[in-house]
A = this chain, B = another copy of it.
Amino acid sequence: MTDELYGRRVALLAADGVEQAEYEQPREAVEQAGASVRLLSVHGGEIQAMNGDIDKGERLRVDAVVSDVSADDLDALVLPGGTINPDRLRVDPGAVEFVRSFVSSGKPTGAICHGPWTLVEADVVRGRTVTSFPSIRTDLRNAGAEVVDEEVVADKGLVTSRNPDDLPAFCAKIVEAFAEGRHSTVAG
């Protein structure tokens, strides 16, 4: 246990289909660094985590519905992957508006695997350098991002990684970026 994130309020935003390891490991990393963590989703109750997209994993308890939460009340955001998860976030106006508001504010955000797909819907990748799972890179490019193929990329507080194998690098980098805090120079 360290204290880089002591008192920081971190949200993970996810829906049914979230890749279980990409939820658990970032959560553990920021909690170990002292953060208070909540799971936000598009509905209350529980969401269904998956392993490798096809096999059901655990059911995860949702702490709050994203449309009831203000970006002002959080310090950092994690968007885990899993293919179906962002597909369900993208069609929820509250989730998309929350992500748009949060990322535009310059507060640090981590997104891994298919997680960056929601950033496309929120139109917050224009001019940003990101990585992702290979399948959504065309969508990121078409939305104006500069896409690279690296295990972790940090661009003014926006931390992205490609897949579960990148989790150690991703978790280390989000703790660093979340400790650093808000970037004030994000393009509008």
Contact = CB atoms under 8 A, between A and B. Distances in A.
Interface of A: 16-17, 48, 50, 53-54, 56, 83-84, 87-88, 90-91, 114, 120-121, 134-136, 138-139, 142-143
A50, A83, A88 interface centre (most CB from chain B within 10 Å) = A83
Contacts of A114: 87
A33 to B, nearest CB: 32
Contact of A120 (B50, B56, B83, B138): B138
A139 B143 CA distance: 8
A24 to B, nearest CB: 19
B53 A17 contact: yes
Contacts of A91: 134-135
The 5 closest A-B pairs by CB, nearest first: A142-B142, A139-B139, A90-B135, A87-B135, A83-B87
Contact of A54 (B48, B138, B142, B143): B48
B143 A84 contact: no
Contacts of A17: 53-54, 83
A90 B114 CA distance: 13
A87 B135 CA distance: 6
A91 B133 CA distance: 10
B84 A53 contact: yes
Chain B CB count within 10 A is highest, among A48, A50, A53, for: A53
B54 A90 contact: no
Nearest to A90: B135
Contacts of A90: 134-135, 138
Contact of A142 (B48, B83, B87, B143): B143
A83 B81 CA distance: 13
Contact of A56 (B16, B48, B54): B54
Contacts of A120: 138-139, 142
